[in-house]
Structure 1
Amino acid sequence: MNDKFYALPEEKQSQILNAAYKVFATNQYKKAPTSEIAAEAGISKSLLFHYFHNKLELYIFLWNYAADLTKKYICKYKVYKTDDFFEMMRRGLMAKGAMMRKYTFLSLFSVNSYFETEPDIQSIIQPDVQDAAKTTLEMLLSILNLDFIRKDIEFARIYKEILYASEGMLKSWYRAGNYDVTVFEREYLEMINHWEMVYGKGKENDRKQL
């Protein structure tokens, strides 16, 4: 599937993907103009549909491509090869930063896709996200050393709070509009250090409980 797209030089593939992620990330599906994607990518609209039969196919391709790329970078940066939750987050930040340097709007697309109201997209993406969230939490609980985490708050609650805060930070970075990944990495690393102080062992609250 999409053999014609994959036959393109890698640089051209990246131009098309970056254009599509940007347009879909900054517009609702119905209002995202494929003509703008083509223009951003430097190709004609007819050529865009030579590679992808229709708008929906392109959108779902982007979703699956983002998921596959995320898995690849998680492996590359050995995100899950530690039992320390906060070290895992730092490795995850390196993976996310690398992806954002390659595809600027991929992360925003991935976050916004879950809230897309188009039924054909909802039916695919929302179950994917829900299954992934459940599977990820179960996997974390199986590999993490929870001795690094404070005991008086359920880990599932900590994970959810950090996840929501992370999405908010990501959207704020995009709204700023300068797309400097180094700035995002620095600010997010500061938050990881803060969360380690709040939720991790060794801080003043935990010392009082021990």
Structure 2
Amino acid sequence: MNIKFFNLPIDKQQKILNAAYKVFSENNYKKASMSEIANEGGISKSLLFHYFTNKKELYMYLWNHSIEITREATSKYSVLDTEDFFEMLYRALSAKCSLMKKYPHIYAFSLNAYYEQLADIADSIQKSFADATLDSEIKVFEKIDTSVFRSDIDLKLMYKEIMYSVDGFMLNKYRSQNIVVDEIEKEMKLLIEFWKKIYMHNEQEK
């Protein structure tokens, strides 16, 4: 990757990245075109290749960039600075929505990348995803107060179920092309309230 990309104005960088996130989110790796990304980003194809040596380099930069800015948003919204698991979910939701407003196709790209079949790409993505997921899960369980949950709940299974549900919810939104961030945030808050009722013990169980 050419360091000159980072010398571009931030809004120009963001436009190029958004173009790439969009094209890669709408196509698998093989079908995604550097020409289409260049057109979407308002630059020439040769200039795009000047910044990124090839399509794989751009793709992996997008993946790593998505992980990095997600970590930054997690810190900014103090996601892990509470012992309340459901408060963590609220804060994580706010962090995700803030990213989606800046990078509208980033979540769709991440979902698409996770299911990418090309071996050379899939191996790197799957390992990176597994590492990031495990790291996140460890940090969550180091922090949360487990005493508020029902005694008959397997907390690790609960965590996985909720994470899978969030991904499924977002995948459905993208497939229906119904991406309105404020509406997504509203619907997800209702789901979090629903999970609280299911998994937290009530006063009679104390």
User: What is the TM-score when the length of structure 1 is the normalising length?
Assistant: 0.94
Residue 107 of structure 2 is aligned to residue 114 of structure 1 = no
Flag structure 2 segments of 5+ consecutive residues without an equivalent.
Answer: none
Distance 1:122 1:171 in 2: 19
Residue 160 of structure 2 is aligned to residue 155 of structure 1 = no
Aligned partner of 1:3 in structure 2 is: 3
For residue 34 of structure 1, report the CA deviation from its aligned partner. Answer: 1.3
| Corresponding letter in the other structure for 1:120 | D
For residue 142 of structure 1, report the CA deviation from its aligned partner. Answer: 1.3
Distance 1:30 1:114 in 2: 15
| Corresponding letter in the other structure for 1:52 | F
Aligned partner of 2:169 in structure 1 is: 169
For residue 32 of structure 1, report the CA deviation from its aligned partner. Answer: 0.8
| SS of alignment partner, residue 30 of structure 2 | helix
For residue 175 of structure 1, report the CA deviation from its aligned partner. Answer: 2.4
Residue 204 of structure 2 is aligned to residue 186 of structure 1 = no
Aligned partner of 2:19 in structure 1 is: 19
For residue 133 of structure 1, report the CA deviation from its aligned partner. Answer: 1.9
C-alpha RMSD of matched pairs (Å): 1.3
Distance 1:86 1:2 in 2: 42
Distance 1:27 1:55 in 2: 13
Matches within 5 A, 1:5-154: 5-154=5-154
Distance 1:179 1:40 in 2: 19
For residue 120 of structure 1, report the CA deviation from its aligned partner. Answer: 1.9
Distance 2:11 2:40 in 1: 14
Runs of 4 or more consecutive aligned structure 1 residues displaced over 6 Å after TM superposition: none
For residue 140 of structure 1, report the CA deviation from its aligned partner. Answer: 1.6
For residue 33 of structure 1, report the CA deviation from its aligned partner. Answer: 1.3
| SS of alignment partner, residue 30 of structure 1 | coil
What is the aligned residue count? 206
74-83 or 135-144, larger mean C-alpha shift: 135-144
Aligned partner of 2:201 in structure 1 is: 201
| SS of alignment partner, residue 177 of structure 1 | coil
Flag structure 1 segments of 5+ consecutive residues without an equivalent.
Answer: none
